[in-house]
Amino acid sequence: MNGLSVSELCGLFCCPPCPGRIAAKLAFLPPEPTYAFLPDPDPEPEPEPESGPGGSGSSLRTRGEWKLHLTERAEFQYTQRELDTVEVTLARSSRGNEIGCMYIRCVPKSRFTVLFSHGNAVDLGQMSSFYIGLGTRINCDIFSYDYSGYGVSAGKPSEKDLYADIDAAWHTLRTRYGVSPESIILYGQSIGTVPTVDLASRYECAAVVLHSPLTSGMRVAFPDTKKTYCFDAFPNIEKVSKISSPVLVIHGTEDEVIDFSHGLALFERCPKAVEPLWVEGAGHNDIELYAQYLERLRRFIGHELA
């Protein structure tokens, strides 16, 4: 997230902007796309997963019409074999944008699928290696999407589009892939906690993970903000109490972008919050490098949700 200049800070007090302007200034930095969707020259029928918590029977469906092409900037760390496990598709949001989606079957007969909303300044290409590594280590499949204006997704990023984008991803996961709500874990990282909290406040799911979350846009720009103003953007703090699913909050104590106090405040508001993970010494972008990150996720998914 970007900082605000002195003139912009004064402008917020003298002439409060609309939420969209706060959102654009604080959050949206779509990178140059690191991938493309190419037409699949040989789509083949593919059996659905066997019936189970996340399956939808044994009927056949047509494999995706698209193939994923990664550029060197994606820095993919695996082989063609792992790349072939990645299925991509396009979903249309309620605001008319085609949204790029990625589904990675990381483990056979996975009980849970993680619907992952990634952080700022990255796209699906850059996240693909991380998704494969995460899914195999926590025994979950991974489904993710790019926000409007990111990667192959059409349109321009905005707060309203964030909410429409995750809705499109949720309904694609539910209808195209037949994954039931009780098998979906919503995972949001940084700006990705905004659509995650919004969706989780409206739909029940297996669980929610909030990784380096923010309470609201104003509270990031002005740490002393105590209330939510009508022109604030990303008001997670006002929605998180409506989440009826178990919530795991993860935050680094030395986060230089979104202060640790944001994670604490959201944890205190969650009705079904589980034991949080406060990573001592971690910043905004390095929590995944600490051993307790995977340990806590494995315990949460493998034991506490069981």
**Catalytic: which of 118, 211, 251, 284?**
284
CA–CA distance, 233 with 19 (Å, rounded to integer): 5
284 catalytically annotated: yes
Residue 14 CB neighbours (<10 A): 7
Residue 286 CB neighbours (<10 A): 14
Residue 101 and residue 262 in contact, taking contact as beta carbons nearer than 8 Å: no
In sequence order, what DSSP letters do the residues of 64-86 get, joined into one string? Answer: PSEEEEE-GGG---S-HHHHTTE
Residue with tokens 């321009």: 156
Residue 249 and residue 208 in contact, taking contact as beta carbons nearer than 8 Å: no
Residue 262 and residue 215 in contact, taking contact as beta carbons nearer than 8 Å: yes
**Catalytic: which of 141, 255, 259, 262?**
255
128 catalytically annotated: no
Cα–Cα nearest to 32, from 158, 166, 125: 125
**Catalytic: which of 128, 190, 216, 245?**
190
255 catalytically annotated: yes
Collapsing DSSP to helix, strand or coil, 273 comes out as strand
Which positions are catalytic?
190, 255, 284
